[in-house]
Chain A
Amino acid sequence: MTEPIAGLAGVSKSFGSLRAVDDVWFDVAPGEVHALFGENGAGKTTAMKILAGLLQPDEGQVTLRGRSERLRSRKDAARAGIGFVQQHFSLVDELTCAENMLLGQPTGGFLIDRGSAASRLQELSTRFQLHVRPETLAGDLSMGERQRLEILIALSWGTSVLILDEPTAALGVSEFDALRQIVSGLKADGVAIVFITHKLPELLSVADRVTVMRRGRVAWHGRVSDTDPEDLVIAMVGELPANLQDARETRAERGAEPVVRLVGVSTVPRAGAQPLSDISLELYPREIVGVAGVAGNGQRELALVLVGVWPPDAGRIEPDDVEAAYIPEDRALDGLALDLPSARNAIVRSHPRLASSFLRRLSPLDVNRFTRTIMSSFDVRPADPHARTAVLSGGNQQKLVLGRELAESPRLIVAHNPARGLDLRTALEIRKRLLGARDEGAAVALITPDLDELLTLSDRVVVLYEGALVGDLARDEITATNLGRLMSGMG
């Protein structure tokens, strides 16, 4: 193996109290593919952003050709020859490929020369066997072609190191083969490639070396040819918590009517979303069904279909009018109206009931009383119905959401990553509430990437991978290996 061309030496980075990257050592050499494997939140993207100069490390250094360097900007990264293809493409659909390449170029004067940009694109295109036509509008490209363009744009910045962040996230099966060819071609040309992924099959077919990250630390490192895939899976997932062993009988009323049933549900691809593919799922009263899977495999889409906000494009949902509670992953986006007083957020579900029969008037007295009840019951602080919701801490906001969603005793609860970003105490409170709701007869769909949470709460676990449900494990069938394999596509 040749000398590494770029790497991280003891790099750490924190965001507030979250230690996203913790003492990471990493390197990549010309002509090799080094895969970075792990779940979302493991720190892979953050670590590579540091390598590419998009973020600054708190400790440790970026090394280039053996020397430690400070990369302060995209221009520095370009000079060092490092290109980064982000997970979410940033192309402007209405511009041509050549024009997209011109955007934000570190060099270049007042006038732009489309001709020379097109030739440069053509030149890179031929050299690396990545075919795009410079004149095509980016919006007319297929997903695979868009990726090719993003790769070319990254290469136009620098051709020493190329970092691909979850490149297969938006691709179909046949497009992956094309990607594999691209990667081989780049390898042959001496480019050092970092391939960030959570999908094992793909990793195994392209990578030379692999580093596994978990919770910001390196959990495994080695050559792919010397490694048993099972070890990678276990390294990604870690030890399973002991309370898995608790003997808890499932109280699911399997005999009863399911609260909701999805039959062959599929959705069409929408911008930025993973389409669902032929999902059949039944949720019974008194059970918590954990939906495992790395983020980006269709979780939000499944949640929205279950709650009834997105009608399926194929298949059906029975019945189609379940009273469903929704605890969204992003409460700022679709959980709370942050600029309104807390009381206005508390009554989202309950306001028809609280309104008087004449004129449908919402008496402030009733509203406030109701809000205070929720706040005290769910320990929301400050327990002030008039306070603007935005001043509440994240944990209190989430408790407010939970309180108001459970207020009308829904039969179905869809909780998507309910403890995201919360401190342990609040997270435990929330989990207790979900268990409580389950005990009172509700069906709970717990969609979460957090394996601890999954295993503590779930009566059974299904796994979401590329929009489809793979595997339905009863509680006693769950092992780290099983779960890890399903989540990383090893079926």
Chain B
Amino acid sequence: MTQAVDPRPEEIQGRARSLARLWRDSTIWALLVAGALALVLGGLLVLLIGVNPLDAYRSLWDGAFGSRQAIGETMLRFGLYSMIGIGLIPALRANVINVGAEGQVAMGALLAGVTAIALQEAPGPLIIASAALAGAVGGAAWALIPALMRSLLGVNEILTTLTFNFIGTFVLAWLLTGPLQGSGAHLAQSDITPEHAWLPPIIPGTRAHLGLILVVLVALAVATFDKTAAGYRVELYGSNPSLAQIAGIRPARIIVATMLVAGAAAGMAGWMQVAGVDRAVYGTVARGTAFVGILVVFLGNARVAGTLAAALFFAALSTGGEFMQIGAGVSPELIGAIQGVALLLVAARLRRRGAA
């Protein structure tokens, strides 16, 4: 019986104890506190530049929810963030930290776009389904090698997934300015995908598209998974890998499975961008997705409800932020700073007991 015993057990154990401490604390409180504090600190920054924070935040709200258009945009981003974030939940429960969303989104988008274009003659629903599947496969494939490197060689998956982000960006750029470049295009982009395969809007008059239904489905799937025996094994491994191995759980299975799920979800997020928004594969498809998934899932305590709430929070901040410039003269870049503060607060909570 030769199992792939998790190498460098001390590192994994140490990380396990640190992250497990987070998950057991109450979700809603954590989210509310972190969110509120982040807003307050952001408000301080605003004050620093001589603007009334209340004005700024009022514009923020308007920009996020003030009109049907705004709500649509917010929901659009919510869909993106939650798809990536929810996919990360099983991995994080298992202590597998996948920061490769950027590359996985790019590869998923690529494969989805190529599939859609290749199947132009087929009926719409078929293209949509195939492209979605292709997106999942693309993203999962991009997560496979880091998963194997960790389970077989003990290589830190943070480093490998970061590396794959860069490689993915380059591969995408090459393909989109080379073999896959759209006819008549000057930028890095592919051909336009077939029109009958575009995702129709779900909120009429906005860009929020049918893909949101998939988000709901994925959320339900992960929430259900949590309650199964497999979900239990993932959680046990994440909390105490040594005990899990004694109980007969194989680390390799957990690591690879959770990484593939995270990759697949990110890949589908890429598909959503292509099919619902861009209508083609752009070189910039993965821009801004690098750490938003991590941000959202950590704030949400690796629980489905929390992650969805955090995704909504940051989606609103994102769309609202753009409005702050017009409404109150505050740069939307503030949102990035607020994101950082919120995640920092979460990191500060991820402490082992006994720290000074």
Contacts and interface: CB of A to CB of B under 8 A. Distances in A.
Direct contact, A vs B (beta carbon within 8 Å): yes
B247 A340 contact: no
A355 B229 contact: yes
A344 B24 contact: no
Contacts of B231: 362
B235 A355 contact: no
Contact of A360 (B1, B2, B230): B230
Nearest to A354: B229
A339 B243 contact: no
B355 interface: no
Contacts, number: 67
A188 B23 CA distance: 61
B227 A334 contact: no
Given A340-B20, A340-B24, A351 B229 contact: yes
Nearest to A308: B1
Interface string A329-343: 000011111111100
A344 B245 contact: no
Contacts of B236: 337, 340, 344, 348
A348 B229 contact: no
Contacts of A352: 229
Contacts of A359: 224, 228
A388 B227 CA distance: 18
Given A308-B1, A351-B232, A337 B246 contact: no
A337 B20 contact: yes
B24 A388 contact: yes
B159 to A, nearest CB: 20
B242 interface: yes
Contact of B17 (A339, A349, A360, A362): A339
Given A334-B242, A336-B240, A351-B229, A311 B1 contact: yes
Contact of B243 (A336, A351, A361): A336
A307 interface: yes
Contacts of B228: 355, 359-362
Given A337-B236, A339-B24, A309 B229 contact: no
A326 interface: yes
B4 to A, nearest CB: 13
B68 interface: no
Nearest to B238: A337
Interface string B202-244: 0000000000000000000000100111111101100110110
Interface in A84-128: none
A355 B232 CA distance: 10
Which bucket holds chain B's interface residue count?
20 to 34
B253 interface: no
A257 interface: no
A403 to B, nearest CB: 15
B287 interface: no
Contacts of B17: 339
B50 to A, nearest CB: 46
Contacts of A340: 20, 24, 235-236, 239
B240 A360 contact: no
A347 interface: yes
A362 B233 CA distance: 11
B21 interface: yes
A355 B227 CA distance: 10
Contacts of B233: 351
A401 to B, nearest CB: 10
B1 A320 contact: yes
Contacts of A344: 232, 235-236, 239
Given A339-B17, A360-B229, A326 B242 contact: no
B325 to A, nearest CB: 44
A334 B232 contact: no
Contacts of B23: 339
B48 to A, nearest CB: 39
Contacts of A308: 1
B227 A361 contact: yes
B1 to A, nearest CB: 5
Given A311-B1, A339-B17, A340-B235, A362 B243 contact: no
B224 A348 contact: no
B24 to A, nearest CB: 5
A336 B230 CA distance: 18
Interface string A360-383: 111010000000000000000000
A51 to B, nearest CB: 28
Nearest to A364: B227
Contacts of A311: 1-2
Contacts of A348: 236, 243, 247
Contacts of B2: 311
B29 to A, nearest CB: 16
Interface in A297-348: 307-309, 311, 320, 326, 328, 333-341, 344, 347-348
Nearest to A388: B24
B14 to A, nearest CB: 12
Interface in B237-265: 239-240, 242-243, 245-247
Interface in A422-442: none
Contacts of B247: 348-349
B332 to A, nearest CB: 38
Contacts of B229: 351-352, 355, 360-362
Contacts of A351: 229, 232-233
Smallest CB-CB A-B distances: 4 pairs: A337-B239, A339-B20, A355-B229, A337-B240
Given A334-B240, A337-B243, A355-B228, 5 more contacts: A311-B2, A336-B243, A348-B236, A361-B224, A361-B227
Interface of A: 307-309, 311, 320, 326, 328, 333-341, 344, 347-349, 351-352, 355, 359-362, 364, 388
5 contacts: A308-B1, A320-B1, A333-B242, A340-B236, A388-B24
